[in-house]
Amino acid sequence: MQFLDALFGKTQRSKLFVATALLGGSVFGLVGGCATPFYSTDNKILLHFPGAARRSDQIPGVLRPWERIKLIEEKGEKGAKAPVEEKDVLLLQLSEEFEKSASPNIRRSSIEAIAKISRNYPNPVAENIFRIALEDNELNIAVSAADGLGVYALDVKGGAAESRRLAAELLADKYKRLPFSIAAGSEEENKRRKDLRVAILRNFANFQKSDSPLVFETLELGLTGEKLDDGALQDASMRTLAKITDEKYGLDAERWVQFLAYQRGESNKPDELSITERAPKIDSAILK
């Protein structure tokens, strides 16, 4: 009994302290002897404890999501400057990455890399991926597909008129098939559809007037269709029309509608706005 009192102390508090220390030492001893790390961390202090493994240590043969995304981005950069044969190999690798991955971030990165490689290089692999991605339920995937088709149409060299026409048709068809009715879904769903429409209208700025009549038909829908609260569709349509046509109607939706009618031979050409008329108007209430 005297031996135990000498070992653990006479007070209840000292006995509890020693017992806790012994138990902790036993656990750390067991963990330290384990071949498999007990927990992962990058904390410099915790790494000194038994059983700790560095979180950032690479696992042989396994790529973590951010490493895969970095590799995908590198393939896009490399493929943009590569010869045709290498482009084709990289496009097939990226399309497989897109189709097999369940990660929205990896799939989106794959689309962006495919678009980068396919600029000035029309190819069926990119067109197929863009077509699939444009129908994806994940908004960011569909928006990336719209952006990809915009890049696909940008500065395409001679002989690619058919590919540009296809890209315009895919975007126009998707725009028309999106439900316009507010009653068609929740507020969040309507916002998502609006964001995708804006992306489509914005990417039409990379097309040319001669690519497809669907470009102007869709932009007119953006001007005259349902206004979703903030006029974002109208604004995107007017800015795109200004870039495609080089006409100076500013943000005057009525003049743009009249101009599109003029192109069809149904109206006189509207007068262009002056520089002061095209300048953003300041609400007079602000000046009071």
Residue 243 predicted with pLDDT over 80: yes
* Mean pLDDT confidence for 99-127: 93
Using a pLDDT cut of 90, give the percent of the chain over it: 48
Domain count, the chain: 1
Phi, psi dihedrals of residue 52, rounded to the nearest 5°: -85, 145
pLDDT in tens, 201-240: 999 999 988 888 999 999 999 998 765 556 889 999 999 9
* Mean pLDDT confidence for 262-270: 91
Tell me the residue range of the domain where 182 lies: 65-246
**Residue 240 belongs to some domain of the structure:** yes
Provide the strand spans (E) within 42-180.
52-54
Phi, psi dihedrals of residue 270, rounded to the nearest 5°: -70, 155
**Residue 257 belongs to some domain of the structure:** no
**Residue 159 belongs to some domain of the structure:** yes
For residue 124, the domain's CATH number is: 1.25.40
Residue 256 predicted with pLDDT over 90: yes
**Residue 175 belongs to some domain of the structure:** yes
**Residue 151 belongs to some domain of the structure:** yes
pLDDT score at 63: 72
**Residue 11 belongs to some domain of the structure:** no
pTM (predicted TM-score): 0.73
**Residue 268 belongs to some domain of the structure:** no
Report how far residue 134's alpha carbon sits from residue 145's, in angstroms, rounded to the nearest whole number.
5
| Partners of residue 52 on adjacent β-strands | 39
